[in-house]
A and B are shown apart, each in its own frame.
Chain A
Amino acid sequence: VRAGSVGTHLPASGWDIFGDLRKMNKRQLYYQVLNFAMIVSSALMIWKGLIVLTGSESPIVVVLSGSMEPAFHRGDLLFLTNFREDPIRAGEIVVFKVEGRDIPIVHRVIKVHEKQNGHIKFLTKGDNNAVDDRGLYKQGQHWLEKKDVVGRARGFVPYIGIVTILMNDYPKFKY
Chain B
Amino acid sequence: NTVLSRANSLFAFSLSVMAALTFGCFITTAFKDRSVPVRLHVSRIMLKNVEDFTGPRERSDLGFITFDITADLENIFDWNVKQLFLYLSAEYSTKNNALNQVVLWDKIVLRGDNPKLLLKDMKTKYFFFDDGNGLKGNRNVTLTLSWNVVPNAGILPLVTGSGHVSVPFPDTYEITKS
Interface stretch of the complex, out of A16-24, A48-56, A109-117: A109-117
Please report the C-alpha to C-alpha distance between residue A154 and residue B158 in the assembled complex, in whole angstroms.
Answer: 9
Interface stretch of the complex, out of A26-34, A59-67, A87-95: A87-95
Please report the C-alpha to C-alpha distance between residue A143 and residue B55 in the assembled complex, in whole angstroms.
Answer: 9
Verify B108–A156 contact, CB threshold 8 A: no
Verify A89–B56 contact, CB threshold 8 A: no
Distance in angstroms from B66 CB to nearest chain A CB is: 20
Verify B148–A158 contact, CB threshold 8 A: no
CB-defined interface of B133-160 with A at 8 Å, one 1/0 digit per residue? 0000000000000101011111110100
State which of A91, A110, A114 has its C-beta within 8 Å of the C-beta of B148.
Answer: A91
Verify A154–B89 contact, CB threshold 8 A: no
Distance in angstroms from B3 CB to nearest chain A CB is: 15
Verify B151–A114 contact, CB threshold 8 A: no
Number of interface residues of A (CB under 8 A): 29
Contact status of A91 and B146, CB under 8 A, knowing A110-B102, A114-B100, A157-B22: yes
Verify B56–A111 contact, CB threshold 8 A: no
> A91-B146, A91-B158, A110-B126 given. 9 additional CB < 8 A pairs?
A70-B83, A71-B83, A90-B102, A91-B85, A111-B103, A112-B100, A127-B106, A142-B56, A155-B155
Residues of B whose CB lies within 8 Å of any CB of A are: 22, 26, 54-56, 82-83, 85, 87, 89, 91, 96-103, 106, 108, 110, 126, 131, 146, 148, 150-156, 158
